[in-house]
Amino acid sequence: MLETESFWGRRSFPRFTADRWAERATCLRLWGRESESTPGPLLCGRPVPPAGPEVEAQPGAVWPRPGRRAGAAECTMLSCDICGESVTSEPDMQAHLLIAHMENEVICPFCKLSGVNYDEMCFHIETAHFEQKELGRNFERINPIHHRTSDNRKDSAQQSRMEVHSPCASNHPNISAQSQPKDGTLEHKAFYSENLTESRKFPGSKEKQGDLPKIKGPIYGTVYSPPECPFCGKIEDCPQDMETHVKTKHANLLDTPVKDCDQPLYDCPMCGLICTNYHILQEHVDLHLEESSFRQGMDRVQYSRDLELAHHLQEEEDRRRSEESRQEREEFQKLQRQYGLDNSGGYKQQLLRSMEREVNSGRMHPSEFHRRKADMMESLAIGIDDGKTKTSGIIEALLQHYQNAAPEVRRVWLSAAVDHFHSSSGDKGWGCGYRNFQMLLSSLLQNDTYHDCLKDMAVPCIPKIQSMIEDAWREGFDPQGATQLNDRLQGTKAWIGACEIYTLLTSLRVKCRIVDFHKSTGPLGTHPRLFEWILNYYSTEREGGPKVVCTSKPPIYLQHQGHSRTVVGIEERKNRTLCLLIFDPGCPSREMQKLLKQDMEANSLKQLRKFVGNLKHKQYQIVAVEGVLTAEEKIARRQASQVFTAEKIP
């Protein structure tokens, strides 16, 4: 049995004894299929003599089993008709036939399931057909029924077959191959259904089916009962008749109506299901309505939750927007206060409040308060600065100093004469732009070139400068700037910058231009190009001139973020570095007056000097005066100021 052993090495089946394999082989044979066999009680195979040196082979003879002594029981060697495999007993042959030739033909006797192995089929029958299995077990207790036919060949084949229809025949040893009668088989009527057997091949199959219901006796009555109609209780002899009865007599109760039936059909208005009974349709529709009502209830619950969530999200959005609006208002108010647009009054109101605080603190006598107030009102009435913050003669003092001292300076260029104006208590914190305009205008008033366009004019006070800028807006200059400042400067602390200075000078027919140094041009955020531009503005000859050059060029208005100053000259040091000379409105008069002394100290110039490393703001703008405009040029520049542009470097 080398081949059988090698087969087991390739399979994962549990290894049974020969007797158990014989029982399982009989259980899983195809019911109703006749097999050709040799005469005698063998399923398939023929006796063959064992090959061996001690015995001469004789066909059909009975040979002693090898290895036994003389006189021991003898056996017959069987050979498989299909593959020629030799075995020593009929149970081994039955096991060989099941394993080698019938494995792919295992079919469930109850539901026609196929394509599985033996163990899987056993598990399927045990789990899916438990009731049929129990019925088969009960039938095993009934005496076998013998069938005889006139055909000798079929009779011989029927005698060699055992029809054990229980899927678990191995559990009943009394039904093994050795205990079965040779002249007949035990038949179960259920195994002759249209899907499980091939009994139609044999004429005697009808007789077998007809004999089973005729069995009488108490044992059969407890095991088998005729099928009963579940609708009307009628009893039929066999399941086929009962099926026909139900389909014909109770078709209206089935899911699918019988063809060629004259009964009315009812369509479900919701899903289109066809029913043959109105009451069933009504129950079906009621189920739809219950489901719809349930869904509506769920929808209402979901809608309520969605509505609550929507309200919650809306409240969160409202709170967020309210917080953003509050922050925007606070930031806007902060900017308004910073740029003097918070309607807290202008120059006059701030000066009065400042003097009142000094009186209240005891630093000013009330009589001094009234005197200063009277002077202020007079200055505002005539529109001329009272000169209390002005310092004159600084350019002349610088010229004298550079000629006699400053050995570290190689050359220096100074602007035309200019007066220094510093901020007072009336414009502290916001008036630097106005004070720088006063410095620039003081230089132009001392220059004969601008006498025609500035005749009969004095340095105005801050409220007057605000009024002059408003007049320029009304002429049509810089409408965008006017809109940003609400077309109003008087009575406010609004800051002004390079654009307002350009607008005011252009309206006075002073030719000027704005140059924007919009980004750094040197290392560490410095602006060396700004220094070079200012040097070129003041100097015409770089070599061969005197050490100190006092030019006729007006000073330059210099603006950066948050502050503005006035450039009055530039130094070229021995090491070829440049240094700007700057008037700062934030520097008080007492500090500026130190520059007027004949023995000016070098430390006094520190407040004027600004090297390249001192100017590191992101952006600088300058307003440089270049001459006088004609009436036509003024009109052209007014038109060009509708969209303000500036020269950018780099």
Catalytic (active-site) positions: 432, 563, 584
Give the integer Cα–Cα distance in Å for 478 and 499. 8
Cα 146 to Cα 182, 317, 438: the distances in Å are 10, 92, 139
Give the integer Cα–Cα distance in Å for 364 and 536. 49
Q: Which residues contact 246 (CB under 8 A, 6 or more apart)?
A: 229, 230, 231, 254
Q: Which residues contact 235 (CB under 8 A, 6 or more apart)?
A: 226, 227, 228, 229
Cα 133 to Cα 194, 290, 604: the distances in Å are 18, 42, 121
Beta strands 548-550 and 409-414: pairing type?
Answer: parallel
In this structure, what token pair is assigned to residue 268? 């479900």
Beta strands 578-583 and 563-573: pairing type?
Answer: antiparallel
Phi, psi of 455 (to 5 degrees): -65, 150
Half-sphere exposure of 581 (CA within 13 A, CB side): 27
Beta strands 74-75 and 63-64: pairing type?
Answer: antiparallel
Phi, psi of 383 (to 5 degrees): 80, 20
In this structure, what token pair is assigned to residue 101? 């030739």
DSSP, residue by residue, 282-329: HHHHHHHHHHHHHHHHHHHHHHHHHHHHHHHHHHHHHHHHHHHHHHHH
- Report yes or no: 580 and 567 within 8 Å, Cβ to Cβ: yes
Q: Which residues contact 616 (CB under 8 A, 6 or more apart)?
A: 520, 524, 525, 526, 527
Q: How far is CA 375 from the centre of its chain?
A: 71
Give the integer Cα–Cα distance in Å for 615 and 621. 12
- Report yes or no: 461 and 379 within 8 Å, Cβ to Cβ: yes
Give the integer Cα–Cα distance in Å for 320 and 388. 52
Give the integer Cα–Cα distance in Å for 5 and 2. 5
Torsion angle (degrees, nearest 10) of CA 334, 339, 342, 346: 150
- Of 430, 402, 419, 460, nearest to 583 by C-alpha is 419
- Report yes or no: 611 and 577 within 8 Å, Cβ to Cβ: yes
Cα 637 to Cα 155, 250, 324, 437, 644: the distances in Å are 131, 106, 42, 20, 10
Give the integer Cα–Cα distance in Å for 581 and 568. 6
